[in-house]
Amino acid sequence: MPSSFPKSCSSKPRPPLLSLTIIGGCAASLLRARLPLRLNRTSWQGLGYYTRARNLHRCGKMIVEKFGGRLPNDPDELKSLPGIGLYTANAIAVFAFDQSLPIVEANTARVLSRLFNIRAPIDSTSGRQKLWEASAKLVPQKGARDFQNAMMDLGALICTAHNPCCQICPVKKFCRADNPASLPRKRKRARTISITEWHCFRTSGRTILLERCRQRWRGMWMLPKIQQRNSAPIHRAQFSFTHHRITLEVFRGRSNRLTTRQRWFSCHQLNRIPIPSPHRRAIIDLFIAERGAGLHPQRS
């Protein structure tokens, strides 16, 4: 092995970690299918991508109901499951069942775009199509699992996003890119949009009023939205969500009539319900500010 080879790379064979991740994820999906969706949301809170939590629950239920609790090995049947698209279906088929199928993810996309000198943005329709076609040309009929693992390792350790190690690349003579570091190309990133959202902090004794989310954090509980503000905010925080930069401003609650999506929760219930991280942090900070050390819900 060349002395300049990255230290993170080893000549020893390693277990297919992605296979274990996929199998573990499928097992978790089946276990979660037995749990109420509320508990799945609670255990997922703070991780983001909440649609994935809902799909994971639906996927587990469908595997149990439609496939008798056994994960299908057919890519088309896998794609019929909630939240599983082309990449995930092929990845499961390759790493769990060693089928000969193309795979395109961040590392392999970088390798393929340089090997085939793909100039189209890889996040465009034409660019994605070219990547999948290129991967299909290379994948062997046997040993696809090891091949795809090697492709990912090649992208992660040698054909890196910045300063690729072209001098020790084992497929250097096949690379068509004149300037590998300039690839892959991507479309211009969407402009960040700034948004300010107003919510109220309304308590009664050791209870707090919360509202069920309908859009961004659908199914979770947050501080109630308000349309008007009559005073300075008692809490302000910022967080990012996709291409939005959101300012959360919380105001002292008023005694408006409750809506059908609002309900009171005791302090002890807060650790058992799904609450988005920005709102949970606001609740904790405001309770501590008002009542000292009397309440300490766990931070997510």
Do 111 and 183 have their domain in common?
A: yes
Same domain, 274 and 212: yes
Identify whether residues 239 and 178 lie together within a single domain.
no
Among candidate residues 160, 188, 216, the one where a domain is terminated: 188
In-domain check, residue 34: yes
Would you state the pLDDT for residue 299? 42
Is position 2 within any domain?
no
Is 4 within the bounds of a domain? no
Which residue stretches of the chain have pLDDT < 50?
1-24, 27, 30, 293-300
Q: So what's the pLDDT on residue 98?
A: 94
Is residue 163, in this structure, part of any structural domain at all?
A: yes
Instruction: State the Cα–Cα distance between residues 74 and 87, nearest whole angstrom.
Output: 13
Same-domain status, 202 and 290: yes
Residues 89 and 104 in one domain: no
Report if residue 38 sits inside a domain.
yes
Give residue-wise pLDDT tens across range 178-212.
999 999 999 988 899 999 999 999 998 889 999 99
**Residue 238 falls inside a structural domain:** yes
Residue at 268 is within a domain: yes
User: What span, in angstroms and rounded, lies between the C-alpha atoms of 115 and 132?
Assistant: 13
CATH number at residue 262: 3.90.79.10
In a domain, 256, yes or no: yes
Pairing label, strands 221-222, 207-212? antiparallel
| pLDDT value, residue 26 | 52
247 near 229, Cβ under 8 Å?
A: no
DSSP line for the chain: --TTS-TT--SS----HHHHHHHHHHHHHHHHHTS-HHHHHHHHTTS--HHHHHHHHHHHHHHHHHHTT-----HHHHHTSTT--HHHHHHHHHHHH--------HHHHHHHHHHTT--S-TTSHHHHHHHHHHHHHH--SS-HHHHHHHHHHIIIIIS-SSS--GGG-TTGGG---SSGGG-S--PPPPPPEEEEEEEEE-EETTEEEEEE-SSTTTTSEEPPB-S---S--SEEEEEEETTEEEEEEEEE---PPPPTTEEEEEGGGGGGS---HHHHHHHHHHHHHHHGGG--PPP-
Does 285 share its domain with 214?
A: yes
List, in order, residues 6 or more apart from 183 with CB less than 8 Å away: 110, 113, 114, 117, 118, 119, 177
Rounded Cα–Cα distance for residues 95 and 93 (Å): 6
State which of 188, 221, 249 marks the end of a domain.
Answer: 188
Q: What residue numbers bound the domain in which 283 lies?
A: 195-294
pTM of the complete model? 0.67
**Are 184 and 120 found together in one domain?**
yes
pLDDT at 133: 98
Q: Is 17 exposed, middle or buried (0-12, 13-18, 19+ CB in 10 A)?
A: exposed
- Picking from 156, 188, 220, the residue at the C-terminal end of a domain is 188
CATH of the domain at 148: 1.10.1670.10
Closest CA to 208 of 260, 252, 247, 246: 252
The number of distinct structural domains making up the chain is 3
> Which residues on adjacent β-strands are paired with residue 237?
248
d(CA 103, CA 90): 6
The pLDDT value recorded for residue 257 is 81
On whether both 209 and 243 belong to a single domain, the answer is yes
